[in-house]
């Protein structure tokens, strides 16, 4: 795998585009509790991509390329230090610009890894992908929306059991904390072991105020204290296998459709964020309180 941004323009020209896959990570810099770094989603996206690229190169005999990650994403909670969010319209426009640029170079296999599960983000990314594919013919897949919704490679029994027992782990809980422990324990502050559970029902997740109430003074929703490196390995392996399955099938243009569309894309009220007034990012002054 090669970093496309370290090549010269003439080296990019000479790549066999039909036998290549380009990976693009789009994820936010945002608060992840008192125990995980702001770049958690970016770090996860990059890790999953690198591992998937290695596997795909072996399996398909293709060459994979990546770009520096784009720390651009949409989300609704801006009540903490460190979060840098964009409107859905901006995320859509940035995604479109990045993808159109790569398409114009002649690449026909582009995988967008939007490693941030917020529906606002997934919908903004998918809107851009749909437009690109409509204009240029099929050349992009963004499988994370479907993978986050559970369309994935087989999970280990340990993971299935844990998910049943400790569901609704939406943000910086045991899922993300475990994933980061597996990537590199240095990223995780020890305090995760003593933090209380922060609970919310999936219905309440759509209400911003209830989300903020559940996050309390810590900034997570879920149960970080159950995190472990072993669970993290199961989670990361599952995610990497799912990305490989989606992108490998897309490369062959066979069997990829189950990863193609994010189901919440069809809920029209969720598109209100594309309107300039309704979609304005409500940034809150957090300093000096
Ligand atoms: Zn995250």
Query: Ligand 1 mean position to 42 CA, how many Å?
Result: 8
Query: Ligand 1 mean position to 117 CA, how many Å?
Result: 7
Residue 168 confidence (pLDDT)? 87
Closest residue by Cα to residue 205 from 164, 160, 162, 171: 171
pLDDT tens-place string over residues 33-75 = 999 999 999 999 999 999 999 999 999 999 999 999 999 999 8
Name 278's Cβ contacts closer than 8 Å, sequence gap at least 6.
272
Average pLDDT over residues 227-247: 97
Q: Which two tokens stand for residue 215?
A: 């996050």
Residue 203 confidence (pLDDT)? 79
Burial class of residue 249 in the structure, from the number of CB atoms within 10 Å of its CB (0-12 exposed, 13-18 middle, 19+ buried): middle
Counting residues of the chain whose pLDDT is more than 70, the rounded percentage is: 100
Q: If pLDDT is split at 50, 70 and 90, which confidence band does 13 have?
A: very high
Query: Ligand 1 mean position to 227 CA, how many Å?
Result: 14
Region of poorest pLDDT, from 59-73, 196-210, 215-229: 196-210
Mean pLDDT of the chain: 94
Contact 223, 197 (CB under 8 A): yes
Residue located via tokens 């319209």:
89
Check: pTM over 0.85? Answer yes or no. Answer: yes
Query: Ligand 1 mean position to 39 CA, how many Å?
Result: 8
Residue 208 confidence (pLDDT)? 76
Q: If pLDDT is split at 50, 70 and 90, which confidence band does 217 have?
A: confident
Query: Ligand 1 mean position to 145 CA, how many Å?
Result: 14
Query: Ligand 1 mean position to 4 CA, how many Å?
Result: 26
**Would you tell me how many other CB atoms lie within 10 Å of the CB of residue 202?**
9
Residue 279 confidence (pLDDT)? 87
Q: If pLDDT is split at 50, 70 and 90, which confidence band does 82 have?
A: very high
**What is the three-state SS of 192-238?**
HHHCCCECCCCCHHHCHHHHHHHHCCCCCEECHHHCCHHHHHHHHHH
pLDDT tens-place string over residues 156-186 = 999 999 999 998 898 999 999 999 999 999 9
Per-position DSSP letters for 25-40, written without gaps between them? EB--B--BTBTB-TTH
Structural domains of the chain sorted by starting position, each given as residue range(s) with its CATH number in brackets: 2-274 (3.40.50.10310)
Contact 30, 73 (CB under 8 A): yes
Does pLDDT of 289 surpass 90?
no
CA distance 42 to 47: 9
Query: Ligand 1 mean position to 188 CA, how many Å?
Result: 13
Counting residues of the chain whose pLDDT is more than 90, the rounded percentage is: 80
Query: Ligand 1 mean position to 105 CA, how many Å?
Result: 31
CA distance 122 to 144: 8
* Helix-then-strand count for the chain, H and E: 9, 5
**Would you tell me how many other CB atoms lie within 10 Å of the CB of residue 21?**
25
Contact 114, 142 (CB under 8 A): yes
Query: Ligand 1 mean position to 132 CA, how many Å?
Result: 26
Q: If pLDDT is split at 50, 70 and 90, which confidence band does 198 have?
A: confident
Query: Ligand 1 mean position to 118 CA, how many Å?
Result: 9
Q: What residues pair up with 25 in beta bridges, in sequence order?
A: 113
Q: What residues pair up with 141 in beta bridges, in sequence order?
A: 111
Q: Cα 216 to the chain's mean position, in Å?
A: 24
Average pLDDT over residues 236-265: 97
**Would you tell me how many other CB atoms lie within 10 Å of the CB of residue 19?**
13
Query: Ligand 1 mean position to 67 CA, how many Å?
Result: 20
Average pLDDT over residues 204-222: 83
Give the CB-side neighbour count of residue 88, counting CA atoms within 13 A: 21
Total number of residues shown for the chain? 289
Q: What residues pair up with 32 in beta bridges, in sequence order?
A: 34, 36
Query: Ligand 1 mean position to 32 CA, how many Å?
Result: 6
Average pLDDT over residues 214-241: 94
SS3 281: coil
Q: Element (H or E) spanning 21, and its range?
A: strand 20-25
Average pLDDT over residues 104-121: 97
φ and ψ of 165, to 5 deg: -75, -40
């Amino acid at each position: 795998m090669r970093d496309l941004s370290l090549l010269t323009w003439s080296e990019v020209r000479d790549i066999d585009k039909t036998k290549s896959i380009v990976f693009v990570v789009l994820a936010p810099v945002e608060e992840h509790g008192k125990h995980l770094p702001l770049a958690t989603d970016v770090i996860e996206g990059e890790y999953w991509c690198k591992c998937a690229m290695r596997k795909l190169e072996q399996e398909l005999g293709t060459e994979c390329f990546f770009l520096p990650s784009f720390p651009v994403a949409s989300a609704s909670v801006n009540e903490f230090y460190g979060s840098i969010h964009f409107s859905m319209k901006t995320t859509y426009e940035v995604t479109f610009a990045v993808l159109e640029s790569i398409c114009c170079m002649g690449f026909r296999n582009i995988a967008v890894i939007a490693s941030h599960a917020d529906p606002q983000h997934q919908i903004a990314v998918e809107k851009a992908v749909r437009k690109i594919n409509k204009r240029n013919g099929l050349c992009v897949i963004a499988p994370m929306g479907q993978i986050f919704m559970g369309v994935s490679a087989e999970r280990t029994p340990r993971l299935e059991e844990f998910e049943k027992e400790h569901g609704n782990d939406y943000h910086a809980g045991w899922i993300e904390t475990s994933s980061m422990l597996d990537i590199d324990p240095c990223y995780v502050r020890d305090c995760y072991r003593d933090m209380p559970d922060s609970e919310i029902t999936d219905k309440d997740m759509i209400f911003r105020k209830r989300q903020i109430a559940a996050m309390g003074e810590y900034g997570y929703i879920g149960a970080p204290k159950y995190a472990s490196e072993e669970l993290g390995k199961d989670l990361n392996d599952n995610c990497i296998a799912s990305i490989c399955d989606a992108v490998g099938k897309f490369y062959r243009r066979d069997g990829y459709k189950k990863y193609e569309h994010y189901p919440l894309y069809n809920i029209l009220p969720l598109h209100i964020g594309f309107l300039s007034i309704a979609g304005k990012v409500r940034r809150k002054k957090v300093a000096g309180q």
